[in-house]
C-alpha cells in the first residue's frame, strides 16, 4: 500500500509535505523548491490536491496537486500529476510530471507561457 501522506523529496531537492489526507482523497500540504531554483529566499508554498482513492483500496494510487506561486513579478501555477508506487523493497516512490504556467498579457505570448 502506497500512502501519500508524509514528507517527500525529489532527486533535485524539492520537498513536498502532505499534511492532511481526507477520506475523500483530497489533501493539502506544502511544497518547497530545491536548490536548483537558485533562490534561497523562497518559502514553502501551500498545495492542494487529490488522489485516486481516499479510502486506501487502490494500492498504488494516481494523484495530482496544484501550487499557486505568490511571486511579485508574475502569476504562476504549477500542476503535478503522478502515481505513488511501492518498490520491490517496500519503498514508496512517486513518479510525477509537471506543467508550469505563467500569466501572459496577450494571446500572442501564449506560446511561451507553459513549460
pLDDT band at 36 (very low <50, low <70, confident <90, very high): low
pTM for the model: 0.83
Q: What is the mean pLDDT of residues 70-87?
A: 86
For position 46, what pLDDT does the model report?
93
pLDDT band at 75 (very low <50, low <70, confident <90, very high): confident
For position 86, what pLDDT does the model report?
92
For position 39, what pLDDT does the model report?
56
pLDDT band at 54 (very low <50, low <70, confident <90, very high): low
Q: What is the mean pLDDT of residues 70-97?
A: 88
Q: What is the mean pLDDT of residues 96-114?
A: 91
Q: Which of 61, 53, 7, 63 is nearest to 31 (CA)?
A: 7
Domain ranges of the chain: 6-112
CATH class of 6-112: mainly beta
Q: Which of 2, 69, 77 is nearest to 42 (CA)?
A: 69
Amino acid at each position: 500500500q502506497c500512502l501519500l501522506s508524509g514528507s517527500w523529496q525529489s532527486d533535485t531537492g524539492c520537498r513536498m509535505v502532505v499534511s492532511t489526507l481526507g477520506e475523500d482523497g483530497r489533501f493539502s500540504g506544502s511544497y518547497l523548491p530545491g536548490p536548483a531554483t537558485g533562490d534561497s529566499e523562497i518559502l514553502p508554498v501551500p498545495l492542494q490536491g487529490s488522489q485516486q482513492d481516499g479510502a486506501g483500496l487502490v494500492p498504488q494510487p494516481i494523484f495530482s496537486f496544484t501550487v499557486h506561486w505568490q511571486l511579485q513579478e508574475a502569476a504562476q501555477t504549477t500542476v503535478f500529476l503522478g502515481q505513488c508506487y511501492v518498490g520491490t523493497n517496500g519503498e514508496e516512490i512517486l513518479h510525477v510530471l509537471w506543467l508550469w504556467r505563467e500569466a501572459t498579457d496577450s494571446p500572442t505570448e501564449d506560446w511561451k507561457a507553459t513549460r
